[in-house]
Amino acid sequence: MAVCMAMTAVLVTIDEERAVRALREAGANLDRSQGEVFLDFSSVRRIDSAVLQALEEFACIADERTVKVLLRGAQVDVYKVLKLVKLTGRFSFVS
């Protein structure tokens, strides 16, 4: 018997100055019932290694909880960093 669950989408806005904290909080609150989560990167111009680590951890939590992660508005410089560290496969990208 198939179980139907109500799916909701959550939007998390990432602020460049507080990106690590925002990602960790979002990861902690990630709920299996959320079908997908949008991380809004549109105001992020640059990311550092701490943000990369936080993103990777977030992707792991999302995987465990079968939640799809969508990065919204990631600028190409940020996208290139994710590509270089081979993290793009962990996310979907929307404009």
Partner 1 sequence: MTASETVKERIQIPLTPDSLSAERIAYLEGIVRQAKTAAAVFTQFDQQDVDRIVKAMVLAGLEQAQYLARLAVEETRLGVMEDKVIKNMVASEFVYNYVKDKRSVGVIRELPERNLVEMAEPIGVLFSLTPITNPTSTVLFKCIMAIKTRNAVIFSPHPKAWHCCAEAVRIMYEVALKHGAPEGVFTCVESPTLADNAYLMKHKDVGLIDATGGPGVVKAAYSSGKPALGVGPGNTPVYLEKSADLNTAVVDIIISKTFDNGTICASEQTVVIDNEIYDQVLKKFEDLGAHICNQKETRLLERTVIDPQTGVMQPMAVGQKATDIARFVGLTVKPHTKLLIAPIQGVGRDYPLSVEKLFPVLAVYRAKSVGEALTVCVDVNHLGGLGHTAVIFSRDEQIIRKFGDVINAGRIIVNSPGSVGALGAVYNDLVPTFSFGCGTGGGNSTTDNVNFYHYLNIKRVARRTQNHMWFRVPNQIYFNMNAVENLGQFTSQSTIIVTNPSLERIGHVDIVRRHICPKTQVHVQVIPDAEPEVKVILQGVEALNFYKADQIIALGGGSVIDAAKIMKLKYESPEADLEYLAAPFLDLRKRVVEYPTEKASRARLIAISTTSGTGSEVTPFAVLIDKEQGRKVTLADYSLTPDVAIVDPQFVMSMPKGLTADTGIDCLTHGLEAGVSTFASPYTDSNAMQAIRLVFKYLPIAYEHPQDEEARCMMHNAACIAAMAFSNASVGLNHALAHAFGARFGVAHGRANALMLPHVIAYNASVPTKFMPSPYTQGYVADKKYATVADLLGLGGHSVEEKVKNLIAAIEQLLDQLEFPRSIKELGISREEFERAVPELVKIACDDPSWRSNPRMPLMSEMAELLWKAYEGRGVVQMADAPQPQTT
Footprint of partner 1 (CB under 8 A): 45-50, 52-53, 77-78, 80-82, 84-85
66: left (phi over 0), alpha (psi -120 to 50) or beta: left
Amino acid at 62: A
Closer residue to partner 1 in complex, CB, 12/78: 78
Q: Is 80 exposed, middle or buried (0-12, 13-18, 19+ CB in 10 A)?
A: exposed
Closer residue to partner 1 in complex, CB, 5/76: 76
Q: How far is the CB of 66 from partner 1 (least distance, A)?
A: 27
Closer residue to partner 1 in complex, CB, 60/85: 85
Amino acid at 38: F
